[in-house]
């Protein structure tokens, strides 16, 4: 059963001109636990409706007593701009319990290299993973390859510099700037010892920076400069725009990195009209033209309703004011996850679920369509 908490905003920190970090106090008498890399969902009342958006925790579950999410403005985005413009200490906000499959389990006995590729707001789960591994695994290395427009848009720039000092020899950041600001225009540039044109190698022990975009060829140049980049004991975590994640994944495939070592988190949700794939019938011949009945078991109640062929199970439920859990509505976050106890469900999007979850019969109602008559899904 998904849990909801009402949290108090303790502090709002402006990280960059278009990004804030929101620090929440842990709820009284309870402690919200989460894994580094996971996200929570904010429930925001706006113009008479409740909007949900997922945000990864940028805090570290091992060292921070509070919970922090970091929100970057998206052009014309409803919630990211609302939060950046209006949120203040003392505000109360409803959040869902943390979830997500993009996380790391740290253990003191581990000795490995964790390589993080991020761009823009994609840093949020990565910094939580970095802080956790550096704190909890004394023998592990962490490398972060981080793409941004320029020096001023680097989220957590200071924290990253401090972490490099604190964990010298175990943590390094390679910055990639697509449009670096020239020295006379930016006082921040002085913190960069050198901005190296794309083809150069970063000098050892410096804040290395490449100009350009984090793409396949740049990733292939950077990977061999990282310690133990070819080790079997390296885990790769990628978070950022879809295009960047694909490019980095291709680079890792070229380097023969096994698929189970590559972890990705997508922040981008698709518009409702783009959400539907082809719904196949059980034998894969033609889409169902009529509505299918489904049964959902949730929080001790049983809901039976019809799902029209052009709707997902979640959309049909929400149309009927059945209050099922959800967040991203695009198959990324797993907030709507349930177990299919009988019948067959087609998923437009499977990436949000692990291979194990798929094998065990888990489905996501926000991208799920019933393709047989006896579908029963238990959520919780
Ligand atoms: C698992 C998960 C974790 C996330 N973690 C974070 C986080 O830590 N920090 C953070 O800032 N955001 C994060 N996001 C994205 C966040 O949930 C919102 O999608 C984002 O803040 C935009 O919401 P909005 O209401 O402002 O924009 P909307 O009003 O929903 O969208 C406005 C326009 O922007 C596009 N758009 C939406 N999201 C993005 C995006 N991320 N990048 C580019 N274009 C976009 C939409 O397609 C639309 O065209 C996460 C998303 C997911 C699924
Ligand atoms: S609501 Fe996010 S996966 Fe379904």
Question: How far, in Å, are 87, 181, 342, 345 from residue 375 at the CA level?
Answer: 42, 57, 5, 7
* Residue 90, φ and ψ in degrees, nearest 5: 95, -25
Residue 353 or 376, more confident: 376
54 lines ligand 2 (CB under 6 A): no
pLDDT confidence band for 63 (50 / 70 / 90): very high
Nearest to 264 by CA among 250, 285, 251, 246: 246
Q: What is the pTM of this model?
A: 0.83
Predicted local distance difference test score (pLDDT) of residue 231: 67
* Residue 170, φ and ψ in degrees, nearest 5: -115, -15
Structure token digits, residue 353: 């679920």
Question: Which of 16, 45, 267 is the best mutation target for the ligand 1 pocket, counting ligand atoms within 8 Å of the beta carbon and taking the most?
Answer: 267
What average pLDDT does the segment 275-300 reach? 71
**CB count, 10 Å around CB of 168?**
10
Question: Which of 52, 336, 379 is the best mutation target for the ligand 2 pocket, counting ligand atoms within 8 Å of the beta carbon and taking the most?
Answer: 336
Lowest mean pLDDT among 261-275, 306-320, 365-379: 261-275
Query: Which atom in ligand 1 lies closest to the alpha carbon of residue 271?
Result: 47
**CB count, 10 Å around CB of 140?**
20
pLDDT confidence band for 287 (50 / 70 / 90): low
What average pLDDT does the segment 49-68 reach? 95
Structure token digits, residue 30: 């309870």
Question: Which of 38, 268, 323, 327 is the best mutation target for the ligand 2 pocket, counting ligand atoms within 8 Å of the beta carbon and taking the most?
Answer: 327
Give the N- to C-terminal CA distance of the chain in Å, as an integer.
Answer: 4
Tell me the sheet residues that pair with 114: 142, 235
Residue 277 or 269, more confident: 269
Tell me the sheet residues that pair with 210: 176, 196
Q: Does domain 272-379 have CATH number 3.40.50.300?
A: no
Number of residues assigned to the chain: 380
**How big, in percent rounded to 5, are the helix, strand and coil portions of the chain?**
25, 30, 45
d(CA 110, CA 374): 46
Predicted local distance difference test score (pLDDT) of residue 198: 32
d(CA 121, CA 147): 10
Does residue 5 sit in helix, strand or coil?
strand
Tell me the sheet residues that pair with 345: 370
pLDDT exceeds cutoff 80 at 140: yes
**Residues near 267 by Cβ (< 8 Å), separated by ≥ 6?**
54, 121, 122, 239, 240, 332
Cα 325 to ligand 2 centroid, rounded to whole Å = 9
pLDDT exceeds cutoff 70 at 363: yes
d(CA 149, CA 152): 8
Class of domain 113-265: alpha beta
152 lines ligand 1 (CB under 6 A): no
d(CA 372, CA 286): 13
pLDDT confidence band for 276 (50 / 70 / 90): low
Residue spans per domain, the chain: 4-96, 113-265, 272-379
Question: Which of 98, 267, 330 is the best mutation target for the ligand 2 pocket, counting ligand atoms within 8 Å of the beta carbon and taking the most?
Answer: 330
80 lines ligand 1 (CB under 6 A): yes
Predicted local distance difference test score (pLDDT) of residue 286: 54
328 lines ligand 2 (CB under 6 A): yes
Predicted local distance difference test score (pLDDT) of residue 279: 55
What average pLDDT does the segment 240-258 reach? 94
Tell me the sheet residues that pair with 52: 43
Query: Which atom in ligand 2 lies closest to the alpha carbon of residue 352?
Result: 3
What average pLDDT does the segment 137-143 reach? 96
pLDDT exceeds cutoff 70 at 202: no
Predicted local distance difference test score (pLDDT) of residue 196: 36
Nearest to 368 by CA among 309, 302, 304: 309
d(CA 49, CA 27): 25
Question: How far, in Å, are 126, 297, 338, 357, 375 from residue 372 at the CA level?
Answer: 40, 17, 17, 20, 6
- Residue position matching structure tokens 């320029």: 150
Q: What is the mean pLDDT of the chain?
A: 87
* Residue 227, φ and ψ in degrees, nearest 5: -65, 140
**Residues near 164 by Cβ (< 8 Å), separated by ≥ 6?**
171, 172, 173, 207
Cα 90 to ligand 1 centroid, rounded to whole Å = 24
Nearest to 34 by CA among 90, 106, 87, 140: 106
Ligand nearest to the CA of 366: 2
pLDDT exceeds cutoff 70 at 165: yes
What average pLDDT does the segment 8-31 reach? 94
Residue 373 or 94, more confident: 94
Report the CATH fold assignment for 4-96: Elongation Factor Tu (Ef-tu); domain 3 (2.40.30)
Predicted local distance difference test score (pLDDT) of residue 34: 97
77 lines ligand 1 (CB under 6 A): yes
Q: Which tens digits make up the pLDDT trace of 28-45? A: 888 899 999 999 999 999
pLDDT confidence band for 135 (50 / 70 / 90): very high
264 lines ligand 1 (CB under 6 A): no
Nearest to 313 by CA among 244, 326, 300, 301: 326
Tell me the sheet residues that pair with 96: 4
Ligand nearest to the CA of 268: 1
Percent of the chain with pLDDT over 90: 70
d(CA 374, CA 376): 6
What is the bridge-based pairing of β-strands 49-56 and 113-119? unpaired
Ligand nearest to the CA of 327: 2
Cα 141 to ligand 1 centroid, rounded to whole Å = 30
Asked if 105 and 61 count as a contact pair (C-beta separation under 8 A), the reply is no
């Amino acid at each position: 059963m998904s849990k909801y908490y009402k949290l108090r905003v303790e502090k709002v920190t402006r990280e960059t001109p278009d990004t804030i970090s929101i620090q929440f106090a842990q709820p009284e008498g309870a402690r919200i636990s989460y894994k580094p890399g996971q996200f929570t969902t904010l429930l925001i009342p706006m113009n008479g409706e409740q909007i949900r958006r997922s945000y990864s925790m940028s805090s570290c579950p091992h060292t921070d007593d509070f919970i922090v999410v970091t929100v970057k403005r998206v052009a014309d985005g409803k919630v990211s701009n609302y939060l950046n413009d209006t949120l203040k200490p003392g505000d109360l906000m409803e959040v869902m319990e943390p979830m997500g499959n993009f996380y790391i389990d740290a253990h003191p006995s581990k000795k490995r290299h964790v390589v993080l590729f991020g761009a823009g707001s994609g840093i949020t789960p990565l910094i939580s993973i970095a802080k956790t591994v550096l704190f909890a695994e004394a023998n592990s290395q962490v490398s972060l390859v981080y793409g941004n427009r320029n020096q001023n848009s680097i989220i957590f720039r200071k924290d990253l510099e401090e972490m490099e000092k604190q964990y010298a020899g175990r943590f390094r950041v390679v910055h990639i700037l697509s449009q670096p600001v020239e020295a006379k225009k930016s006082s921040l540039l002085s913190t960069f010892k050198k901005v190296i044109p794309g083809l150069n190698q970063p000098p050892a022990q410096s804040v290395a920076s490449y100009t350009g975009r984090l793409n396949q060829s740049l990733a292939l140049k950077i990977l061999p400069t990282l310690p133990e980049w070819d080790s079997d004991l390296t885990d790769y975590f990628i978070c950022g725009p879809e295009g960047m994640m694909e490019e980095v994944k291709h680079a890792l495939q070229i380097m023969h990195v096994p698929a189970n070592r590559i972890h990705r988190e997508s922040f981008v949700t698709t518009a409702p009209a783009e959400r539907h794939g082809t719904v196949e019938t059980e034998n894969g011949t033609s889409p169902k033209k009529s509505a299918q009945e489904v049964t959902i078991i949730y929080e001790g109640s049983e809901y039976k309703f019809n799902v029209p062929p052009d709707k997902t199970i979640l959309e049909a439920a929400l149309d009927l004011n059945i209050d099922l859990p959800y967040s991203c509505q695009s198959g990324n976050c797993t907030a709507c996850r349930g177990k299919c106890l009988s019948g067959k469900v087609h998923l437009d999007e499977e990436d949000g679920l692990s291979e194990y979850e798929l094998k065990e019969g888990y489905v996501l109602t926000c991208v799920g369509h019933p393709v047989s008559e006896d579908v029963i899904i238990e959520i919780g």
